[in-house]
Structure 1
Amino acid sequence: MTGEGAAFVAGRGVPGADGPGAARPFPWGPALLFCPADRPERYAKALERADAVILDLEDAVDPVRRADAREALVASDLDPSRVIVRVNPASSDDHAADLSALAATPYRAVMLPKAESAADLAALDRYDVIALCETAAGVLAAPTLARQRSVLALMWGAEDLVASLGGTSSRHADGTYRDVARHARSSVLLAAAAAGIHAVDTVHLDIADLAGLAAEAEDAVAVGFAATACIHPGQVETIRAAYRPDPDEVEAARALLAAAEEAGRGVFRYDGRMVDGPVLAHARAVLRRS
């Protein structure tokens, strides 16, 4: 493991004063764009448009083309600090072949889909891992997965989760998530924060619904997600805008922290409200995002 990713794994964040992952910043910006690994002509453009690209060997690739996708992955030449490779699940027939191809590349960030146990991560010690909790077993195992040394972040997935339950839809007719999906999202976020790592919010499948994406990304920021994954370049700027604090918000955070420095330790009154540790942590989170 090299570079920023190695530093990230070396010292786990301390939950508390500054939030999850405070001791090791998230390696990428907020918009993580999936790209089918069997479409190498799209690799560079996807990376140019997003903060990091997720080269997908799993769901985005027809099983009969996965060997071609692995060849394209090995032949690629992208900035390894901004590439994540989604391999196939540890239980699949493709997993070992994916890891063999991955070892022949400079890429050292991996997304493991359908992660359900520490044993699923056994072959990934050399990598920085985003463990994707997208089955009932995976969501329940999120606290265990989050504490594995190679795991730098957890992500959740709605559609595979509902499929694992025998259901048919993660959303109501108005586009809002059903309760079980909301519960899974919160559970994964809490497990990541408790372990001092980061959480990544799932994709918004309705590409044309930028208003819905904006609302979900704004909520992700508000509750502490580090990034949001997406499936189309047209979604990137909506995600970035949601995670980017506006200038007034940044100035207010700076003023509040300056007032805290002047007030010294303990609770104090500022601009008509009581300010304590959690309020200051919120302000520091705004400055980190800026």
Structure 2
Amino acid sequence: MNGENQSSVSEFLLLWLSRQPQQQQQLLFRLFLSMYLVTVLGNLLIILAISTDSRLHTPMYFFLSNLSFVDVSFSSTTVPKMLTNHIVGSQSISFPGCLTQLYFFIVFGDMDNFLLAVMSYDRFVAVCYPLHYTTKMTPQLCALLVAGPWVTAILNALLNILLMARLSFCADNTIPHFFCDLLPVLKLSCSDTRFNEMMVLTEGVLIVITPFVCVLVSYICITCAVLKIPSIKGKWKAFSTCGSHLAVVSLFYGTIIAVYYNPSSSHSDEKDTTATVMYTVVTPMLNPFIYSLRNKDMKGALRKLFSLNLHVNK
């Protein structure tokens, strides 16, 4: 299509929520608002508890506090805009706003991928090499395992946005989603998007599949090590330590693969949106419960935090 036949798109319309029946819109609004508030409160409590309790100043909780920060940011990239649009009765998001939302969505989505892999490596070292854990997981290595993913995520997001910015968009500006996701926006372009789609698949191997394989390898090694433990109590303790992390990994990666790496013939707007909600909203909300309810140290830190606040208020 020639440039003179194209109309410049200055905004997109996020139509997923507005397409629902009126009564269901109100229900979904309350549901998303509740989940978002729980996500923010729960993850901020984890960060505060870890930062104030010296017993939790260990590699595992250092990675967990980073994951909590990323989860809050990840949900904040998409949900507040949808809630605001519903309140003001608008479905629009400007073209620069869409690219900005997409940039931060990619950054924090990539960081979730990397941190889950880093946390699985941390559990691998703790279970398979418990006597060498402190010498292997040094503060310098922990800082590198977090800083490296941040740099990679930022560069990857910048590359995707630069490739997206060079595309032309025609008259159709409706996105059947609740935020500017990569694939729905690409579908609206008048330009040839084959290079962009190839980049999505190529990066998928590096950004999503590689950490996922690292997680699988780590847990295979952990399982083999745990099975060698003679006592049933010891096996249960080791498995319970890693079980919460494995639950988050399964939910997060399962829904991402369903959205981005399934055949296009199996996709539908409703299925993709539902799967996206799972890893952008539900998983960040569940993380505080999964990582704290079955963790004695975390529960102790939270009790200490609450008792300190009550003492200060008195």
| TM-score (ref. length: structure 1) | 0.24
Q: Which protein has the bigger strand share? A: 1
- Higher relative CO (Cα under 8 Å, sequence separation at least 6) belongs to 2
| TM-score (ref. length: structure 2) | 0.23
| Structure with bigger gyration radius | 2
